[in-house]
Amino acid sequence: MSGRAQLMWDEAVTGYDFGSGHPMDPVRLALTMRLVEAYELDRGPLEVVAAKPAGDSTLRLVHREDFISAVRRASADPAAADLSYGLGTADDPAFVGMHEASALIAGQSVGAAEAVWRGDAVHAVNFAGGLHHAMPGGAAGFCIYNDASLAVARLLELGAERVAYVDVDVHHGDGVQAAFWEDPRVLTISLHEHPRTLFPQTGWPEETGGEGAEGTAANVALPAGTGDEGWLRAFHAVVPELLGAFRPQVIVTQHGADTHFEDPLAHLAVSLDAQRAVAEACHDLAHEHADGRWVALGGGGYAVVDVVPRSWTHLTAIAAGRPIDPASMVPEAWRHEVFRRTRQLAPLRMTDGRTPHWRDFVADGYDPADRLDQAVLATRRAVFPAHGLLP
């Protein structure tokens, strides 16, 4: 297997644009790529590759044909958007070229999966991806086509027998869970803000997989306000043991940056430094359990200047084997680019100044009165026995 990492990038993914005022501003993608370039990560071990858009036969691995047709119609004429497919809503307004931009993003994630499975790269990143809310028959939550599900489905099509999907976006990875609800070959793990307080109001610990796939969905519903210590404690209390028991051949991860304390759409209080720590943990877990095969995707994240570019540049650097010192100064040229594009001041360093730490759930014990520990224990009790693990 090659030691190289691939970054899937085509500037045209910034055409995934719901319009002025929508939280998912494509500038977050452009600024991330410019920061990757400012750190010269696109040179050396990281190969930048543009994959072709996902064709209809690939999209049909997850999505219904009638939905794909509805997206095409709305893409050609936004006035023809069909609300019954989740198109033309406030979350997912129709725009000209919507199908093409969505299929291009999906193609990058599918291309990443192919590269990793075939050994062209040991790690592959598509930070434009991670659009995890789209369902087989409808758009939802800023997501038209579910590139994460398509990447997993393509891995299965290529012969993978066990794929693990780990989602640390602040929102539940509902679309991926739904796509593989009855497929025992896919383990989906999602850590997210509690469904009582955040869209999509799913991801309860009792959601553990369909008939014949019991225990292959794991959901950690975190209390609003959870910060670095609790978030890292929950991750390490659930993810490593489940991966060890499942023995995936490939790990696909989704790194929505909207867990951050500055994110305007959610209520967790996680720092950039903790996000970086989880990206490093995912890298290490891929090497421990999946011969290094790791597909890393972006996701949500609506602090489009302060948080998203730094978070996903750290992710890309870790995948490239060239991790960035959090204390390093952000390149001045990038800060000028931020001001030119947004008239906002860019952050000065690649850190929030935190040193994340956590207490181990098993080794250090848990507090039955603590809401975070209650959430972790609920997940372990619901899922661990199906894998022969003690809750």
- Tally Cβ neighbours within 10 Å of residue 134: 32
Residue tagged active-site, from 63, 132, 133, 192: 133
Host H or E run for residue 99: helix 98-118
- The residue type at 67: F
Burial 178-193 (b: 16+ CB within 10 A, else e): bbbbebbbbbbbbbbb
Largest Cα–Cα separation, the chain: 58
Structure tokens at 370: 């603590």
Kindly state the DSSP code that residue 260 receives in the 8-state scheme: B
CA distances from 83 to 36, 88, 94, 252 (A): 38, 6, 10, 31
- Kindly tell me the sign of the dihedral angle through the C-alpha atoms of 183, 147, 263, 243: positive
**Residue 345, both tokens:** 């001041």
Tokens of 307: 């948080």
Q: Is 289 a catalytic residue?
A: no
Catalytic residues: 133
